A and B are shown apart, each in its own frame.
Chain A
Amino acid sequence: MEWNRREFLKIAGVTTAATAFGGLGFDLRPAHAEAQAAKLKFTKQSTSVCCYCSVGCGLIASTDKDGQGRVVNIEGDPDHPINEGALCPKGASHYQLGQNDRRILKVLYRAPYADKWEEKSWDWALDRIARKVKEARDAGFVTKDAKGRTVNRCENIASVGSAAMDNEECWIYQAMLRAMGLTYIEHQARI
């Protein structure tokens, strides 16, 4: 027998003094178990950690094996000792970050004084950014300060970000910025 949520609530509503399953006179657990099994059969599970606050709740992402290889569900990881399977509303909405028609999926470029974005290729954008970085850095590089001390600073480029990156990404980002001589390096932790 199949029950959808609405019908279930309708029945639950008339058996006011009932416990979750007991009052219905039948046991939904086998149906629940079958739904779980179906999920496991057609998807691959991988573990992750929530990207929002810093509690670090464990997630299980289920990826469609036969279709497009997209995530079809994300839920709390019951084995994780901090959240024990639970998630807050933000954590529970994770799935919508992966399947979201507001995601920007192309490189965008806004020319000086333009009033709109244009789509560009990665190569075009990264080539141009690299050129801009080099131009600025070469023009403004400070080898010695006013007292004649070696300082090797690139003071006309600044960077902010990012606590949204992984540790490994943060590390190479700071390595790149420091190799270029940036001193204005800041991110979310300051604010």
Chain B
Amino acid sequence: MTNHWIDIANSDCIFIVGSNAAENHPISFKWALRAKDKGATIIHVDPRFTRTSQHADVFARLRSGSDIPFFGGLIRYILTNNLYFKDYVVNYTNASFIVGDKYDFKDGLFSGYDAEKRAYDKSSWAFARDEAGQIRKDPSLKDPRCVFQILRKHYDRYDMKSVSDTTGTPVDDLQRVYQTYAATGKPEKSGTMLYAMGQTQHTVGVQNIRAMSIIQLLLGNMGVAGGGINALRGEANVQGSTDQGLLYHILPGYIPTPTAAMQTLKEFNEKNTPVTKEPQSANWWGNRPKYMASFLKSLYPKQDLDTGYGYLPKLEPGKDYSWLTLFDQMLGGTFKGFFAWGQNPAASTANSNKTREAMTKLDWMVTVNIFETETGSFWKGPGMDPKKVKTEVFFLPCAVAFEKEGSISNSGRWMQWRYAAQKPSGDTKPDGDIIYELFEKIRELYAKEGGACPDPIRNLDWDVATQHVFDPHKVAKRINGTFLTEKTLKVGDADKTFKPGDPVPTFALLQEDGSTCSGTWVYCGSYTDKNMAARRDKTQTPMQAAIGLYPGWTWAWPVNRRVLYNRASVDPQGRPYQPHKAVIEWKDGKWVGDVPDGPWPPMADTAKGKSPFIMTAEGMGLIFGPGRNDGPLPEHYEPMECPVGSHPFSKQRSNPTALKFTGPTEVHAACDPRFPFICSTYRVTEHWQTGVMTRNSPWLLEAEPQMFCEMSPELAKMRGIKNGEKVILESTRGSLWAKAIVTERIKPFTVQGQTVHQVGIPWHFGWTWPVNGGDSANILCPSVGDPNTGIPETKAFMVNVRKA
């Protein structure tokens, strides 16, 4: 989230799309309703009428997988009717940038496409530069090669009729949504966009979010109270686990993982440190070498930086290591061993039958969980003969959240400390102790016996326990960072000397020379003279109280900033666009309110002022985004499995760069009469993720005991299915039973003049428990993914439904 949960109450218009916040983030919805009480409008766009729709002032249905046409139509509406916030667009976005001569877009393909590699050479998307290397601009936004005009041309094709034909949304409903939301383009109004997996689990997932970002920039909704792009994340610490770099492509704090093409730290820094010629750009990532050095020192404080860097594994350039690829490789026999730590991939991975079979190719699997899972017990699951499964499985039982101490980070980036309320049950241990003890044993083996490349293991600073018990405070201090050698630095206007072991108070003081360590630079400032995440101080200034800001309650990364990009909430003189709900204000030569995005004066000070989007090299919001793998502007492509043979926007039916695999289960049904219905997966209030915790909680299981499929009365009639009857769902990958819920919450769509049906299923069930509860929805889902992130397309695929 750029903003935070309480901030939703500050909005004038709440646009919820690809999320059922009322049912899946119920407490968050209180803040949406509070905004509504104050006169805000709630828009809900979804294939299905839910409790969120029930509270919405405007509800519009769209067919799963047609979000970009929906948003493209909105972009066109905003531009055609001059409803954008002109000053904001000119001053704070790249709308005025001139795009280079080589950029082109023809019939669904951007320039630079290589059909053989199914990938783009992105160099033709670069901006035009003058002799001094500065980007050429036209602040009048009239140059036909400026981003604004390219945007206009690109979305000119997204007229109401083409959009409605594709999304299945009636034109009147489109009109209502567009008109309502575009009204937030007035400087004094703010609109927020709330989304969840309904936006991301698509082969165009990243471009769905890009489309929303473009809309928010055009309307001046980024950085303001009640604005922003807000992901309603689904796991208590999925924000934190991402921040801590538990993904193949990033180290902690969003530092890219080194590749083999970066053999030395110097090469790494050269390739990963953006430079800018824009005079007012802060270019914050220009500090990356300091963060990388501090990370290396957090692992290897006693080794010099080059040695520590040399220890890190280097990815093969261009090779994908992401989730779907991992399981494809597992099926191919790449792995001897596998850790499924606090996760249930046998139920959570698209194409579950493939995933479960892949697990039979392992020599061993270690799985850590609270309850039995479909993963740990895969060898005795449906269709498995244990006598034929070689995999050795270790199930390590772990403590639950309130049996240990530590911090988690919510979607609003609040790092919140939790305390142990009881001792771990039975023989269970906190995950921290299991990791600590396991690696102690691995270290002992390498110390005793040597082995392949032992130094990175032997030299890792493994001081993470106190008296052989995992110590979260010790680790939290290391994540924050400390000085390793004495250092005198300028703090404000005065010199301050820091001694070895002193916490680094803020990441602005992290060093490139190895004199500081910081495990995760964005968390620098979280554990200084005290544990900031444990704070419970609700003191506010009147300005903070007006927008529900609690700067003394826990701690938010970065530097306790609660609203990101907040320098865009003020005009170039530092005056809030929305004085009644100001986030920051430049007053008497300093900022008041939230922690500003950097200490510099506002932009009108051309010598010292900085542009608001400090994490982009140019300092501007990216309407044109030349870094993505599938194009600089969102373009409609159908899901890999879809009910139409073509669409009105181009001849390119599906995303030409989507992540795909080959094999017997990788057959995709497009316009295939055997699989005529669109299917989407979702959640219910009483269950969570694969259901491991909630299916095993009796109160929750009683409320939602088994797998179901929601369908329209029209579809039910056509297939002779009655409410409550058992049905079979089938895709090219597998089949599944469910109880039919025949409901008017689901209605057929009219797409290109044809009636198209959609059904919906929850994904919380699994064969281990309860008995006769059903199995995972992911059995049906395809293993295809977004070309930027690899996230699977589990929100739009094709199935058949029949009476069991």
B380 within 8 A of A: yes
In the complex, whether B401 has a CB less than 8 A from a CB of chain A is yes
A160 to B3, CA, bound (A): 29
Segment from B329-337, B604-612, B631-639 that makes contact with A = B329-337
Given contact pairs A49-B236, A191-B791, A71 touches B422 in the complex (Cβ within 8 A): yes
Nearest residue, chain A, Cβ from B299: A175
Closest Cβ neighbor of B790 among chain A residues? A190
Q: Mark A162-179, 1 if CB is under 8 A from B, else 0.
A: 111111111111111011
Contacts of A86 in B (CB 8 A): 27, 30
Nearest-Cβ distance from residue A103 to partner chain B, whole angstroms:
6
> Which chain A residue shows the least CB distance to B477?
A168
Report the Cα distance A132→B392, complex, angstroms: 10
Stretch of A11-19, A34-42, A150-158 with 4 or more beta carbons under 8 angstroms from chain B: A150-158
B421 within 8 Å of A (CB atoms): yes
Docked complex Cα distance between A20 and B257 (Å): 59
Q: Chain A residues with Cβ under 8 A from B257's Cβ?
A: 183
- Flag B426-441 by CB within 8 Å of A: 1 or 0 each: 1111111001111101
Query: CB-CB contacts of B396-425 with A at 8 A, as 1s and 0s?
Result: 110011111011111110111011111101
Tell me whether B696 and A158 are in contact (CB under 8 A). no
Bound: A21/B101 CA distance, A:
75
Minimum CB distance partner of B693 in chain A:
A97
List CB contacts (< 8 Å) of B298-356 with chain A. 298-299, 310-316, 321-323, 326, 329-330, 334-343, 345, 348-350
Q: Is B391 an interface residue (CB 8 A)?
A: yes
Whether A161 contacts B341 by the Cβ 8 Å rule is yes
CA–CA, A11 to B246, complex, Å? 56
Known A53-B24, A181-B313: A157·B248 in contact at CB below 8 Å: no
Q: Closest B residue to A57 by CB, please name it.
A: B27
Known contacts A98-B402, A113-B387, A191-B348; 17 further A-B pairs (Cβ under 8 A): A54-B234, A59-B402, A83-B30, A86-B30, A97-B401, A108-B395, A122-B437, A143-B453, A161-B340, A166-B432, A167-B240, A180-B442, A184-B248, A185-B248, A187-B241, A188-B343, A190-B790
Query: A63 to chain B: which residues have CB within 8 Å?
Result: 421-422
A7 in contact (CB, < 8 A): no
Q: Could you tell me the distance between the alpha carbons of A61 and B345 in the complex, rounded to whole angstroms?
A: 31
Does B623 sit within 8 A of A, measured CB to CB? no
- A168 contact set on B, CB distance < 8 A: 406-407, 432, 472, 475-476, 479
Q: Which residues in A have some Cβ–Cβ distance to B below 8 Å?
A: 46-59, 61-63, 69-71, 74, 79, 81-84, 86-91, 93-94, 96-98, 100, 102-115, 117, 122, 125-141, 143, 145, 147, 149-176, 178-191
Residues of B within 8 A of A165 (CB): 237, 241, 341-342, 431-432
Size category of the B interface is: 35 or more
A125 to B257 Cα, complex, angstroms: 32
Smallest Cβ-Cβ distance to A186: which chain B residue: B323
Min CB distance A64 to B, Å, is: 9
Q: Is B703 an interface residue (CB 8 A)?
A: yes
Q: Are A106 and B427 in contact (CB under 8 A)?
A: yes
Which chain B residues border A122 with CB–CB below 8 Å?
Answer: 427, 429, 437
Q: Chain A's nearest CB lies how many Å from the CB of B49?
A: 20
Q: Does B457 contact A (CB under 8 A)?
A: yes
A174 neighbours in B (Cβ, 8 Å): 244-246, 251-252
Is A134 touching B445 in the complex (CB atoms < 8 A)? Answer: yes
Out of A112, A126, A141, which one reaches B390, CB within 8 Å?
A: A112
What residues of chain A lie closer than 8 Å to B201, measured between beta carbons?
191
Q: Is the CB of B394 within 8 A of A102?
A: no
A13 to B341, CA, bound (A): 50
Given A153-B313, A161-B246, A161-B340, check contact A97 B395 (CB 8 Å): no
- Most chain A CB within a 10 A radius of its CB, from B233, B342, B789, B790: B342
Asked if A184 and B406 sit within 8 Å, CB to CB, the answer is no
A49 touches B416 (CB 8 A): yes
Distance in Å: Cβ of B769 to nearest Cβ of chain A: 7
Question: Does B422 contact A69, Cβ atoms closer than 8 Å?
Answer: yes
Whether A152 contacts B311 in the complex (CB less than 8 A), given A103-B425, A134-B442, A164-B342, comes out as yes
Q: Which residues of A contact B371 (CB under 8 A)?
A: 102-104
Please name all residues of chain A whose beta carbon is closer than 8 Å to the beta carbon of B429 when the two chains form the complex. 122
On whether the beta carbons of B402 and A71 are closer than 8 Å, the reply is yes
A53 near B435 with CB under 8 A, answer no
Indicate whether A169 sits within 8 Å of B430 (C-beta atoms), given known contacts A79-B536, A86-B30. yes
B515 within 8 A of partner (CB): no
**B123 contacts the other chain (CB 8 A):** no
| Chain B positions 235 through 276: 1 when the CB is less than 8 Å from some CB of chain A, otherwise 0 | 111111111111110011000010011010000000000000
Known contacts A81-B550, A163-B236, A163-B238, A157 near B27 by CB under 8 Å: no
Contact of B452 among A51, A97, A141, A172 (CB under 8 A): A141
Please provide the 3 A-B residue pairs with the shortest distance between their CB atoms, ordered closest to farther.
Answer: A105-B426, A56-B410, A162-B342
B386 and A82 within 8 A (CB): no
User: Please, which residues of chain A bring their CB within 8 A of the CB of B791?
Assistant: 190-191
A97 to B236, CA, bound (A): 15
Given A93-B699, A130-B442, A188-B343, answer yes or no on A170-B263 (Cβ-Cβ < 8 Å): no
- The listed residue (B323, B337, B700) touching A156 by CB distance below 8 A is B337
B372 in the interface, Cβ–Cβ < 8 Å? yes
Given that A87-B27, A88-B26, A163-B238 are known contacts, is A125 also in contact with B394, CB under 8 Å in the complex? yes
In the docked arrangement, what's the CA distance between A88 and B696, Å?
A: 17
A90 touching B688, Cβ below 8 Å:
yes
Complex Cα gap A161–B365 (Å): 13
Which single member of B25, B393, B397 contacts A106 (CB below 8 Å)? B397
The chain A residue with its CB closest to the CB of B232 is A54
Residues on B with C-beta less than 8 A from A143 are: 452-453
CB nearest neighbor in B for A187? B246
Complex: how many Å from CA A135 to CA B392? 14
CA distance A117 to B394 in the complex (A): 9
Minimum distance in angstroms from A180 CB to a CB of chain B = 6
Decide if B155 is an interface residue (CB 8 Å cutoff). no
Q: What separation, in Å, do the CA atoms of A125 and B392 have in the docked complex?
A: 11
| Nearest-Cβ distance from residue A170 to partner chain B, whole angstroms | 4
A167-B243 contact, Cβ under 8 Å, with A48-B418, A179-B311? yes
Pull 5 A–B residue pairs with CB atoms less than 8 Å apart, ordered by A. Answer: A55-B25, A105-B426, A137-B452, A167-B523, A190-B247
Assess whether A154 is in contact with B313, with CB atoms less than 8 Å apart.
yes
Is B339 in contact with A166, judged by CB distance below 8 angstroms? no
A54 lies within 8 A of B248 (CB): no
Q: Is the CB of B5 within 8 A of A162?
A: no
The answer to whether B321 and A183 have CB atoms under 8 Å apart is: yes
- Nearest CB on A from B484, distance (A): 17
B423 — which chain A residues lie within 8 A by C-beta?
Answer: 69
Q: Is B625 close to A, CB under 8 A?
A: no
Q: Which of A105, A166, A173 contacts B418 (CB 8 A)?
A: A166
B431 near A88: Cβ-Cβ < 8 Å? no
Please tell me if the beta carbons of A152 and B312 are within 8 angstroms of each other in the complex: yes
A61, A154, A167, A189, most chain B CB atoms within 10 A = A167
Contact call B237/A156, Cβ cutoff below 8 A: no
With A48-B418, A180-B442, A186-B323 as contacts: A160 and B340 at CB distance below 8 Å: yes
Among A55, A127, A158, the residue within 8 A (CB) of B338 is A158
B645 interface residue (CB < 8 Å to A): no
A96-B697, A166-B472 in contact; A186/B247 too (CB < 8 A)? Answer: yes
CA A160 to CA B342, docked complex, whole Å: 8
By the criterion CB–CB under 8 Å, are A127 and B694 in contact? no
Asked if A179 contacts B389 (CB within 8 A), the reply is: no
The verdict on B126 contacting chain A, using a C-beta distance below 8 Å, is no
Closest to A100 in B: B696
Q: Could you tell me if B239 and A54 are in contact, using CB atoms closer than 8 angstroms?
A: yes
**A173 engages B341 (CB within 8 Å):** yes
Contacts of B340 in A (CB 8 A): 160-161
Known contacts A54-B411, A107-B397, A167-B406; decide if A126 and B343 are in contact (CB<8 Å): no
Q: Which of B236, B315, B441, B685 has the most CB of A within 10 A?
A: B236
Whether A115 contacts B792 by the Cβ 8 Å rule is: no
Nearest-Cβ distance from residue A41 to partner chain B, whole angstroms: 17
Q: Kindly list chain A residues whose C-beta atoms are within 8 Å of the C-beta of B475.
A: 168, 171-172
